[in-house]
Amino acid sequence: MATRRILLKLSGEALAGEKKTGFDEETVRKVALQVKELTDDGVQVGIVIGGGNFWRGRTSENIDRVKADQIGMLATVMNCIYVSEIFRSVGMRTGILTPFACGSFTELFSKDRAVSCLSEGQVVFFAGGTGHPYFSTDTGVVLRAIEVEAEVILLAKSIDGVYDDDPSRNPLAKKYDQVSIDEVIAKNLQVVDMTASILARDNKMPMWVFGLNEENSIVNTVKGKFNGTKVTI
C-alpha cells in the first residue's frame, strides 16, 4: 500500500446517520472498523470531524459571529471525544489534540506531538478547528494535513464525488473523475471552502472526495478501488 499517512475529514451530519443530529453509534462503528483495517496495515490516520450534527454556524442575529464559531469549535471537540471512544472500543489507540486548552479532555496541538502520536500508531483526532473564528473545519483539515505532512486528504461526504452542479437539484450534473484544484477554485466547485482550496493549492495538497455511505468506502479509497473524484495539484 503506497499511502502511509492520510488526513480523513468526516462530516458531523454523516456520523449522525438518518437522525441528522447527535450520534449514530452503528455508523461511527462502521467507520471505526474501516480505519482499524488501515492502521493494522500500517497506515497513519489523522481525523478532522465537522460539527454540523450539533451546530451549523450563526443561526441568530442575537449571537455574535465569533461566539457562534466558538460554539462550533466545541461541537467538534464533543464529536472527537465520542468518536475516539468508539475507535478505542474496537481496539485502536487514539489521541485528541486541540489548538486551545480543554482541561484534561484533550492535549494541546503541536506538530511534534501530532507526528509522534501518528508514528506510534495512534489515530489522532484534530479537534477545535484552527482555534480561531471565521475559519471552517475545511481550513482546519487542510492546515493540519500540511503541518503533519500527510500525503493526501480524504473527504468523506454524503455524495460520491465532485460535480459541476448540485446533483440533488440537477439530474444532468456531471461528475468529475479528476479535476485540478485550479479548476475547483475558478469554477467555485465547493469541494472545500475557498480559503481551504487556496491553502491546498498553494501547498500542493491533493484531495480525494468520495461517498462515506458506500460500502467499505474509506478502505477502498486508500487501497486504490476508488469511485470518487481526485482533486489534483
Question: Which H or E run includes 39?
Answer: helix 25-40
Nearest Cα residue to 123 out of 182, 199, 40: 40
Rounded distance, CA 32 to CA 36, Å?
6
DSSP state, residue 214: S
Specify the pTM. 0.93
Cell numbers linked to 77: 471537540
Could you list the pLDDT tens digit for every one of the 233 residues in the chain?
A: 456 999 999 988 888 878 778 888 999 999 999 999 999 999 999 999 999 889 887 777 889 999 999 999 999 999 999 999 999 999 999 999 999 999 999 999 999 999 999 999 999 999 999 999 999 999 999 999 999 999 999 999 888 899 999 888 898 999 999 999 999 999 999 899 999 999 999 999 999 999 988 899 999 999 988 889 999 99
